[in-house]
Amino acid sequence: MPPGESQDKAARPIDALPRADALSAMLTSHAAAVAAVAPARPAIDAAAGHLAEALARGRAVFYVAAGSSGLMALADACELPGTFGVDPRQIRICMAGGVPADGIMPGATEDDDGEATAAVRGMAPGDVAIVVSASGTTPFAVAFAEAAVAQGNTVIGIANVSAARLLELADLAIAIPTPAEVIEGSTRLSAGTAQKVALNMMSTQAGILMGHVHDGMMVNLVADNIKLRKRAARIVARIAAVPEEAAVRALEVSRYDAKLAVLIALGVGEGDARNRLAGAGGRLRDCLATAPGDPSTN
């Protein structure tokens, strides 16, 4: 059994503990899983750079995993378009057996290396794969990584066991050796927590590198509901130092493109604002220094 799936034999079984102590043991396990991510920060940062470069060039990013790891990958993948305005067509989800629409996730699909190999044929030159497996030996994940590497695509591997086969294959290996699980074999707990943290860090860093975060705000969000339109108005108002009413007017002109709306609110014409952003690679900060109403110069 992989180390990350084993149970701490020195501890009392979680089902033998008083209920309050059982919850405390779970929380301690999750905290240890988060701490296990810290040594992987350099690898996560390097992976974020590759992710940002691929997305900026219009390439696709494939999230690949099975079972619980697939759910962690799915959560991260689905957030990128809304949070950072990434084109949904650039995000591909390759989960063994497909995304479970009915809540049923058969275990046998993780052994289907044929499905994984077939999925790799959908990758184009320059596309990147993020392959996640707690053990680092899941047949679906390993087969995808092998085929993608052979095809010349960059593979980012995330595993909870050091020196696992997946990490040996990956161009960028992110090893997160997590402690024993409180329930033996249940990688949705400690291992899953560490995977989710690592994926969040990597994709958020990529968003920052692409200029989609400004002063801690997601300036490339997709404002497609009431809550997010209000958030966009607050973002534009804060950055441009204008009343929210003016921010809303600028957002309406920009069709709720927050970066564009900031420049419009500062007095830049729509066409000029679009050209400035394009010239700056979408980085709002680089455009603000020359904006006529730049609040930082007032």
Residues contacting residue 34 through CB under 8 Å, at least 6 positions apart: 193, 194, 197
Residues contacting residue 10 through CB under 8 Å, at least 6 positions apart: none
Cα distance between residue 132 and residue 149, in whole Å: 15
- How remote is the C-alpha of 241 from its chain's centroid? 31
Can you tell me whether residue 162 is helix, strand or coil? Answer: coil
Class of residue 15 by CB neighbours under 10 A (exposed 0-12, middle 13-18, buried 19+) = exposed
Which listed residue (79, 184, 244, 270) is catalytic?
A: 79
Question: How many Cα atoms are found within 13 Å in the side-chain-facing hemisphere of 15?
Answer: 3
**Residue 110 known to be catalytic:** yes
**Mapped to the 3 state alphabet, what secondary structure does 111-141 carry?**
HCHHHHHHHHCCCCCCCEEEEEECCCCCHHH
Which listed residue (110, 115, 146, 181) is catalytic?
A: 110
- Which of 34, 36, 35, 14 has its CA nearest to residue 25? 14
Q: Which tokens hold the place of 118?
A: 């077939």
- Which of 91, 67, 78, 49 has its CA nearest to residue 5? 67
**Residue 76 identity:** D
DSSP code, position 13: P
**Residue 245 known to be catalytic:** no
Paired strand residues for 217:
214
Active site residues: 79, 110
